[in-house]
Amino acid sequence: MSRKKIVTILIIIIVIIGIIGFIIWKNLNKSNKQNDNTIKIVTSFYPMYILAENITDGATNIELENMADVNVGCLHDYTLTTEDMKKLENADIFISNGLGMENFIDKAISANQAMKIIDSSTNIQDLILHEDETNAHIWTSIEKYIEQVKNVSEGLKESNPENAEIYEENANNYIEKLEQLREKYLNELKNLQGKKAICLNEAFEYMGQELGLEMTTVKTDHEESTMSAEMLKSIIDTAKEENIEMIIVDKNDNRANAETIEQETGARIYELNSGLSGSMEKDEYVKAIEENLQLLK
Ligand SMILES: [Zn+2]
């Protein structure tokens, strides 16, 4: 046999071994997945993770995971990473904020059609619209957040009935806690009703709605640095004309624009917590609201 023939035969053998190996590996993976009866729950981003943590506490045979990195914050214009795709492909249940926050949802569904999707924004009323776009940051209103808790709890009870009782009990306890917090919050911040504020982060619009604040909100998708000079000037003019005393920003935002407005108008900056990032502890939402309450008082 010529050397060339031997090499060709060797290559063919290697390719065949490779193919067989791949098939075996694929099947092994499949059976691993079938044997694993843990329900994998994936939340889209941080606020949904904290919410789900409260409802799933103590549930059996489940695994809760957040899709996006906590530092990502909101998911406006978000592109799925390979890591995200992997989590979605293995998920049984996906919990979304809804209202367009998860624009990648179609891609996620095509990657895993068996995945059950729970939209936390279902049937929530009094949404704030900017032209054609709905403000999706509903969780900054405690009242709307409670509705989100109810929606997620109902969705989980339906898709994972084995833990229905736990979900129900956890949701009831969490809602009770949130209702008490809301009562205290509205009571102690009564004097903000009808007050005017410049809001440089659209996440706080629902907070303002709940507190009765009259807010001039600039939609920036949290990129205050991209605000044009004309926009800034128009805000300063409005603040002067209307004697606005409050400027609301996210404590993680760049303060440059807020400081310019402060210098020009004498209004005061309030650095609030939008609940978009923090530790993975389940009390983080409650803590964020309490933090805002202390600052706004
Ligand atoms: Zn946002």
Residues with C-beta atoms within 5 A of ion ligand 1: 74
Indicate the domain borders of the chain.
39-185, 190-296
Report d(CA 137, CA 144) in Å as an integer: 10
* Residues 219-242 pLDDT 10s: 888 887 788 899 999 999 999 999
| Spatial contact of 46 and 278, defined as CB atoms under 8 Å apart | yes
Q: Which residue has the higher pLDDT, 171 or 223?
A: 171
Q: Report the CATH fold assignment for 190-296.
A: Rossmann fold (3.40.50)
Ligand 1 centroid – CA 220 distance (Å): 9
Ligand 1 centroid – CA 128 distance (Å): 13
CATH superfamily of 39-185: Nitrogenase molybdenum iron protein domain (3.40.50.1980)
Ligand 1 centroid – CA 233 distance (Å): 24
| 88-97, 163-172, 218-227: least confident range | 218-227
39-185 and 190-296, same CATH topology: yes
Q: What integer pLDDT is reported at residue 52 of this predicted model?
A: 98
Q: What integer pLDDT is reported at residue 31 of this predicted model?
A: 47
